[in-house]
Each structure stands twice: as structure tokens, then as C-alpha cells.
Amino acid sequence: MPLRAISSIQSTNRHETINVNLVDSPDWIRERNPAGQLPIIEFGPDNKVLYESLIVCQYLDETYAETRPLQSRDPYQKARDQVFVELFSNLWAPASRPFFMSADLSADWLHIVNGFKKFDNLLATREGRSNFYQPGLVDYMIWPSIERLPLFVDIAGHNGADYLRRELPTVHNYWEQMSGDTTVQSARLPVETFIENLRTFGDPYPPRLNPDVMRVYSQQNSPFAYRVLMVLTAKQIEHEIININIWDKPEWFLERSPLGKVPVVEMGPAGDLLNESLIIADYLDETIPGARPLASPDPYQRASDRAFVETIGQYFVGLEYVFTKSDLAALWPEIEVNLAKANNMLDKRLNGDKYLSGADKPGLTDYKIAPFVHLLPLCVDLLGHNSDEYFRDKLPVLYTYRKAIQSDPVVNKVVTPYDEFCKITDEYHIRSKLNDDDRQKKIENVNSLVLLATKVEVQLTREQRESDDDRRGARPRQVTFSPSVNRNNFNGYANNRPQNQRGYLATSTRNRIFIQKSQYSA
């Protein structure tokens, strides 16, 4: 655990850090440690080498004692602390291994839980000690594992913060105390880096922990997925969301969606699957009463509404062009004609009503087209026009209907605000233009880049970086992309924990999926 050594030396001495890709480690690593494991320290004019994290940290504490000693001066207590660290490591290794190796975490979850509870109990044996929350060497030895625990729980499909608070109270309290330590903060591994490291070992299927809760495989900002999420939210149907990275779909998702498209719903103990947003929306409204029915009770009206959705959808082709065509200007005449047709068709269908449902709340037909109406101005704004003025002057029915749709609490809860989506669209275009060679370059001014570990990446301490910047240029770094997320605090855990734009917990596993907590809305 390299962070052990970094934590121990962080406040004591000037040092540099070489991060090594262990999947493809250079030969010189095994020259320094025949086992090829980290951490390794190399020091002194004669390049002395020492490895094994506990041994390294004990040596550092004994040799660089001028700041403050980290170990007890009592030989017996020091030996007991070593035993504690060994016991903790022996419990942690089997409990954490499935997150790196298992293709199905649900099959290993009971084993994982038992391991987590065992080291919560072990940690509780040290509670009450006067120096327990004044970090010493033993704390820095176990912290790198404890730090990752909420993220591991998230990956397994739980809410990490809630799970720790409820099931692992000692770990929860310890996590909060240690997070405030300045040494821990300075040595903390960015969550993106840890996530990217996990990708090396594959992308396990996140287990459905409650088969009674419907799962939606979505993609952040997908208007097709929005349809289903709006129906679930309007009917107050409990569900959980797995957001798939369309740029790097995990294999288990392709087994559930052979075309790699979202949304997909997985439901019931048997894990029944259903694809295609319009089909899913109809099925949900027909089979689950929920808070209210969304479609008309009249069969002819329902069929007419479906035909309307299919037809008007063809006039939203400009929105499709935003993501599939490189020269929107050449297509503007066609886009403009189709927008006018959509406006006229909507005018006839509304017949003076606020919503297509004819009621004071949107119905199923409204929620089927709402995501596209919400995003439709993109094909105007991206051409340099002012969409607000254009819609108001030339598409008044669409303009008024869009305002009505955006005032609905359900729509507001589900969709990404339009301004944020514009930024994401810019990112999408940058991504789509990148070829393999471009991905080797440093990309700037793009939201949510995740740095991919290079084979050997040199990171210097701040003091060295400041002194060496003039003679050393910035090194190019490989980049890969993850879905856009905001970086906000979540219940005190991992200040850089990813969240989506609406504030729901979103944890990336191997940069391929984002897990949102189960949620529904009135």
C-alpha cells in the first residue's frame, strides 16, 4: 500500500513519488523488489532500497523522528500495534479482493459483508484509547484501506455513507475523524485515480440487492432514458439507476442490451429485461398503478397518442443531427422546416390546452416528448442563433409548451438543466473528433476528464515542483473520458466523490458506470 509510506513521510522530508503501472511494470521494479510489489523507497547517495510497507514506515519513523514520533515508545505497545495491523490486513484482503477480481459482486456480497463487520469489530477494540484519534503509525497503516471502503460499498450497489453509518458505526466514526487529519488530506488518493486503477481489473456487474426495486440502466443526459425516469418519478415507483458510460460499455451491459442502447429496465426476482423507451413507458403505466395513471383510459386515444409521438419525433431530427452530423449549417434549411412542422402539429394536438394530457399535469404523452422539447433549442443555439428569440418569434407553440413542461416538478427533477447540457454537448463533440493519436495529448477546457495512469508518472512534492518547473516542462499525460459529473461533498465522505447534476449519489466503477441511489419523487 504505497499511501502508507507517503503518509508517514509526508510531513517529515522532501521526496519524490514514482507511480508505477503494476499491470505492465518496468523491469527495473523487480530489480529493486524481486516480488514486483510496492511501495519501494530508494534513498541516499548509494541508492539504498527498502520495501514492504510496514517495514518501510517503521524505518521512516525511527530514522526521521525530528518532527514527531508516530509509534509508541513502549516496545510491548509497539508490538501489539504491529499485531493489530496484521490482523486488519488479513481481514481486509479477502473482503476487498472481489471488487478487483469478481465478475458478479452479488455472489460474494455475504462474504464481503462478513469481512467488513469483522474489521469494524476489530477497530472497536481500540476505541476509547486516549490516542485513538490522534493518528499515529498504526492509523496510517490501515487508513488507505478504510478510505476506500465507502467507495467499495457504493460499487456493490449500496449507499456507502448510509451503509457505514448503519452497519459499520466504528468504521464510520473513524473515517470522519481521520478525514480531518492534515497528513491524510495531503496524501489522499483522488477518487478518479482510484477508479481508473480499478478499471484494470475489469468491471463487475453491480448486484441487485433488492429484487423488488426496479433497476434502470441509463446514461446521464439521455433523452430516451429521461422518458422512463419521468414515468417512474411521476408514478412514484421506487427504482435505482445505473448510468452507463456510452464510450466504454461494460460487457455485462451488452448482454442485457445487445445493441448497447439505453434505457433498459431490469425487474423482479428473475431479472426480467425490457428495452426501448416508448415500450418501457407504456408497460410501466399499464402494469404499475403507482401514484396516478398517466395515459388515457380510452384505447383509441392511447393509440392516437402513440402515433402522435412517433410522428412528431420525426420532426425533432435536428436534435439527432446535433450528435450525428458535423455540418449543421448545411442542414439548417431542413432543420427549420421540421421545427415548423413540429410546432404546427403540437398546436393542433394541444388545441389550446397547457399539456397534451388535457389536464393540469403532464400525462404519458407529455413525458414521452418532454425530453426532446427540453433539448430542442440545441440545434438552434449551436448554429449561432438565439434559441429563445427564435422559438418565441417563429415557434410560439413550442416555446409556450416548453416553458410549461419545464415548470413541471417531475421534469425538473429528472432532466439536466439546459445550460449544463449545452456544455456537455460541447464535450461530446470534442470526444467524437478524437482519434487514437489525439487521446495521447493533453486536452484542456473539457469537463470531467479522468487521467489514465501512464506507465511511469513522476509526481513531485510541492517544494520540488516549484523549484524544478522552470527547467522541466509539463509532461504530456494520457487522457480518457468519463460522463460529466459535478464534484460535491456527499454526507461528509470523499470530498471529491462524484455526483450527478441533480445531487444523487453517483459512483463510477472503472469509469464505465455510475450508480445512483434508489429514489423516487412526487
Structural domain contains residue 342 = yes
DSSP label at residue 442: P
Higher pLDDT among residues 456 and 100, named by residue = 100
pLDDT surpassing 80 at residue 321: yes
Counting residues of the chain whose pLDDT is more than 90, the rounded percentage is: 29
The sign of the torsion formed by the CA atoms of 506, 509, 513, 517 equals negative
CA distance 344 to 351: 11
Structural domain contains residue 217 = no
Place of cell 402522435: 308
Q: How confident is the model at residue 518 (pLDDT cuts 50, 70, 90)?
A: very low
When the pLDDT of each residue in the chain is averaged and rounded to a whole number, the result is: 75
Which of 420, 451, 485 represents a domain boundary (last residue)? 420
Q: How confident is the model at residue 13 (pLDDT cuts 50, 70, 90)?
A: low
Higher pLDDT among residues 288 and 89, named by residue = 288
Q: Cβ atoms within 10 A of the Cβ of 18, count?
A: 15
CATH number at residue 92: 1.20.1050.10
461-486 tens-digit pLDDT = 333 333 333 333 322 222 222 222 22
Counting residues of the chain whose pLDDT is more than 70, the rounded percentage is: 73
Cα 482 to its chain centre, rounded Å, is 8
Q: Where are the alpha helices (DSSP H) in 436-484?
A: 462-468
pLDDT surpassing 90 at residue 423: no
Place of cell 412514484: 236
pLDDT surpassing 70 at residue 438: no
Cβ–Cβ under 8 Å, residues 512 and 203: yes
> Helix, strand or coil for residue 239?
strand
Q: Cβ atoms within 10 A of the Cβ of 199, count?
A: 19
> Angle at Cα 39 formed by Cα 170 and Cα 10, nearest 5°?
70
Distances from the Cα of 273 to the Cα of 207, 258, 390, 402, angstroms: 15, 12, 42, 32
327-379 tens-digit pLDDT = 888 999 999 999 999 999 999 999 999 999 999 999 999 999 999 999 999 88
Parallel, antiparallel or unpaired: strands 48-51 and 16-20: unpaired
Q: How confident is the model at residue 220 (pLDDT cuts 50, 70, 90)?
A: confident
Which residues neighbour 491 within 8 Å (Cβ) at sequence distance 6 or greater? 161, 162
CA distance 429 to 378: 13
Structural domain contains residue 315 = yes
Average pLDDT of the residues in 6-17: 55
Which domain covers residue 405, as residue numbers? 299-420
Sheet holding 214-218, edge to edge: 272-275, 264-267, 214-218, 239-244, 513-519, 507-509
Cβ–Cβ under 8 Å, residues 459 and 16: yes
Pick from 161-175, 222-236, 494-508: least confident = 494-508
pLDDT at residue 486, as a whole number: 26
Structural domain contains residue 319 = yes
Structural domain contains residue 132 = yes
The tally of domains found in the chain comes to 2
Place of cell 439507476: 241
pTM, rounded to two decimals: 0.56
Average pLDDT of the residues in 26-45: 84
pLDDT surpassing 90 at residue 283: yes
Q: Where are the alpha helices (DSSP H) in 156-259?
A: 160-167, 169-179, 182-187, 191-199, 223-234, 251-256
Pick from 145-149, 167-171, 368-372: least confident = 145-149
Pick from 47-51, 238-242, 306-310: least confident = 47-51
Cβ–Cβ under 8 Å, residues 235 and 290: yes
Pick from 36-45, 63-72, 350-359, 439-448: least confident = 439-448
pLDDT at residue 481, as a whole number: 24
Pick from 11-15, 118-122, 502-506: least confident = 502-506
pLDDT surpassing 50 at residue 308: yes
Cβ–Cβ under 8 Å, residues 209 and 271: no
And the C-alpha cell for 340? 415548423
Residue count (the chain): 522
Higher pLDDT among residues 48 and 192, named by residue = 48
Cβ–Cβ under 8 Å, residues 497 and 516: no
pLDDT at residue 510, as a whole number: 33
Structural domain contains residue 49 = no
pLDDT surpassing 70 at residue 178: yes
Residue among 409, 412, 408, 446 nearest 430 (CA): 446
Distances from the Cα of 284 to the Cα of 1, 230, 288, 497, angstroms: 48, 11, 6, 32
Structural domain contains residue 484 = no
Q: What is the DSSP string of 357-426?
A: TSSSS--HHHHHHHHHHHHTTHHHHTTT--HHHHHHHH-HHHHHHHHHHHTSHHHHHHSPPHHHHHHHHH
Which of 357, 389, 420 represents a domain boundary (last residue)? 420
Structural domain contains residue 428 = no
Average pLDDT of the residues in 6-18: 57
Choose from 122-136, 468-482, 486-500 the range with maximum mean pLDDT. 122-136
Cβ–Cβ under 8 Å, residues 498 and 490: no
Q: How confident is the model at residue 197 (pLDDT cuts 50, 70, 90)?
A: low
And the C-alpha cell for 421? 447540457
Which of 188, 220, 246 represents a domain boundary (last residue)? 188
> Helix, strand or coil for residue 297?
coil
